[in-house]
């Protein structure tokens, strides 16, 4: 799960991570009045979407940039009206971009230097890792690609925690001395505490800046949270903005389905994550493109299967459905009943390829063959994938 920058700011405040004052607004008028409240000598107006690269992004209406500096509250309102209700395309949004529904107005600060600072879960070392660089700002991807030696990594032992010498190493690597090093050290300790307490999968501050008046401040914030830990993070869950998520995934999460939306046209309904991955690989192998990953799990009910089927069919890109079930704990007749129910309800109009094997397979196959549905049956995984790819091609021709 991700959150917005204005929400991240609340977390920063709670954990004492220094960042400029800011407030969210959903209309231009609100933005202007918030800007007056913040006051001060300079302001920044920032589009709030769950994607980075806003500074260098372009709106579909031609307006350039999702981050603008201004020194006048009225101008802050005008800038907000250019962004609100418009679609912002950045390197991270994909071509379709993201609708901007909120802006954040914050104090602007004078920047002496832009650093990069992130904490992530590293699967390879099985530990949190701190990633930092002196070359922060809007081109960090470029830095990582062309000058990887400028990226510093510090793995943190999950039991020992963040050590003073590790912080000193990072300060040395970033060239931070004296009071800057002191402030950085405090900020990093608090950020690490936040990272652990809130079950983050990543937190990225780009840029973390030093200012001419001697401060270290977080100017941007991107958070990812471990979905499997959300059950014990009610305050984080309250930040969820389903409008920023794939509507298919939002619907699937209501039924506890393990679903990830993709760009292809062959929908998959599979039990078991490994089998679901293998199914997608096989579709690719035969020249097709999966529309989703979907693991209905071992103990799915008929209702969940029907819901899964409705969700994949509601995707306008879907031109065929491949059901691949290897019934172990899952019973093939339950799957069959769910499919039949949903297929009838949705007036299924795309080819349906079914491979059933395992517990209660006879009952399952019988139900399907007597259902009156136009089903293409398959013997095994490859056969099913090949038939799905062919059926979609044939339906197009």
Just list the catalytic residues: 116, 204
Least distance to ligand ADP, CB of residue 129, Å = 21
Binding to ligand ADP, residues 148-207 (CB under 6 A) = 206-207
- Establish if 220 lies at the interface with Mg ion (CB under 5 A): yes
Does 65 help bind ligand ADP (rule: CB under 6 A)? no
With CB under 5 to 8 Å by kind, the binding choice for 106 among ligand ADP, Mg ion, none is ligand ADP
Binding of ligand ADP at residue 54 (CB under 6 A)? yes
Decide: 209 and 111 in contact? Cβ < 8 Å. yes
Question: How many Cβ atoms sit within 10 Å of the Cβ of residue 208?
Answer: 29
Residue 219, binding choice from ligand ADP, Mg ion, none, Cβ under 5 to 8 Å by partner class: ligand ADP
Q: How many whole angstroms separate alpha carbon 156 and alpha carbon 218?
A: 21
Among the listed residues 374, 333, 372, the one whose alpha carbon sits nearest the alpha carbon of residue 353: 374
Torsion region of 360: left, alpha or beta (phi above 0 gives left; psi -120 to 50 gives alpha)? left
Per-residue b/e over 362-381, b at no fewer than 16 CB within 10 Å? ebbbebbeebebebbebeeb
Q: Which does 109 bind (CB under 5 to 8 A by kind): Mg ion, ligand ADP, none?
A: ligand ADP
> Binders of Mg ion: how many residues, by CB under 5 A?
2
Considering the rule CB under 5 A, would residue 319 count as an interface residue with Mg ion?
Answer: no
Residue 180 or 259 having the CB closest to ligand ADP? 180
Q: Which of 219, 269, 308, 340 is close enough to bind ligand ADP by CB under 6 A?
A: 219
Q: Establish if 144 lies at the interface with ligand ADP (CB under 6 A).
A: no
Burial of 196 by CB count in 10 Å (0-12 exposed, 13-18 middle, 19+ buried)?
A: middle
Nearest distance in Å: CB 85, ligand ADP? 19
Q: Does 224 bind ligand ADP (CB under 6 A)?
A: no
Q: How far is the CB of 196 from ligand ADP (least distance, A)?
A: 24
With respect to Mg ion, which residue has the nearer C-beta, 5 or 333? 5
d(CA 68, CA 76): 9
Give the neighbor-by-neighbor strand order of the sheet with 292-295.
Answer: 258-261, 292-295, 266-270, 320-327, 352-358, 375-377
Contacts with ligand ADP in 9-48 (CB under 6 A)? 20, 44, 46
User: In this structure, are residues 340 and 363 in contact, taking their beta carbons and an 8 Å threshold?
Assistant: no
Return the one option of Mg ion, ligand ADP, none that residue 20 interacts with (CB less than 5 to 8 A, by type). Answer: ligand ADP
Hey, is 358 helix, strand or coil? strand
Report if residue 106 touches ligand ADP, rule: CB under 6 A.
Answer: yes
Subset of 196-215 contacting Mg ion (CB under 5 A)? 206
Q: Quick check: 279 binds Mg ion (CB under 5 A)?
A: no
| Least Å from the CB of residue 87 to ligand ADP | 15
Beta strands in the chain (DSSP E): 22-25, 43-47, 58-59, 67-70, 87-89, 98-99, 103-107, 113-122, 127-133, 151-155, 200-210, 216-218, 222-225, 258-261, 266-270, 292-295, 320-327, 352-358, 375-377
Where on the chain is the footprint of Mg ion (CB under 5 A)? 206, 220
Where on the chain is the footprint of ligand ADP (CB under 6 A)? 20, 44, 46, 52-55, 67, 106, 108-109, 111, 114, 137-138, 206-207, 219-220
């Amino acid at each position: 799960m991700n959150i917005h920058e204005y929400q991240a700011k609340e977390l920063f405040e709670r954990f004492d991570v220094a960042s400029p004052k800011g407030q969210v607004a959903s209309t231009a008028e609100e933005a202007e009045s918030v800007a007056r409240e913040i006051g001060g000598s300079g302001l920044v107006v920032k589009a709030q979407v769950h994607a980075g690269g806003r500074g260098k992004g372009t709106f579909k209406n031609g307006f350039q940039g999702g981050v603008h500096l201004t020194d006048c509250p009225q101008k802050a309102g005008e800038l907000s009206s250019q962004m609100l209700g418009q679609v912002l395309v950045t390197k991270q949004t994909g071509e379709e971009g993201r609708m901007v529904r909120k802006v954040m107005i914050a104090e602007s600060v004078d920047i002496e230097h832009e650093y990069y600072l992130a904490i992530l879960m590293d699967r390879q070392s099985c530990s949190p890792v701190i990633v930092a660089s002196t070359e922060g700002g809007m081109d960090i991807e470029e830095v990582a690609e062309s000058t990887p030696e400028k990226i510093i990594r510090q793995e943190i032992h999950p039991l020992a925690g963040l050590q003073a010498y590790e912080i000193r190493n990072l300060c040395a690597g970033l060239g931070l001395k004296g009071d800057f090093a002191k402030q950085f050290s405090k900020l990093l300790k608090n950020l690490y505490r936040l990272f652990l307490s809130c079950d983050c999968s990543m937190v990225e501050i780009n840029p973390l800046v030093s200012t001419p008046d001697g401060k270290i401040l977080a100017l941007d914030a991107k958070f990812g949270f471990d979905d499997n830990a959300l059950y014990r993070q009610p305050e984080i869950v309250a930040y969820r903005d389903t409008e920023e998520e794939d509507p298919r995934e939002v619907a699937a999460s209501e039924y506890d389905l393990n679903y990830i939306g993709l760009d292809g046209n062959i929908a998959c309904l599979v039990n078991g994550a490994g089998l679901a991955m293998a199914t997608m690989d096989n579709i690719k192998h035969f020249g097709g493109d999966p529309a989703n990953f979907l693991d209905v799990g071992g103990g799915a009910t008929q209702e969940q299967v029907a819901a899964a089927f409705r969700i994949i069919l509601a995707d306008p890109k879907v031109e065929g459905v491949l059901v691949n079930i290897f019934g172990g704990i899952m019973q093939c007749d339950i799957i069959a009943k769910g499919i039949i129910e949903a297929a009838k309800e949705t007036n299924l109009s795309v080819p349906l390829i079914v491979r059933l094997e395992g517990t209660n397979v006879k009952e399952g196959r019988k139900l399907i063959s007597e259902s009156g549905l136009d089903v293409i049956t398959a013997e095994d995984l490859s056969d099913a994938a090949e038939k799905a790819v062919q059926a979609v091609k044939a339906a197009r021709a």
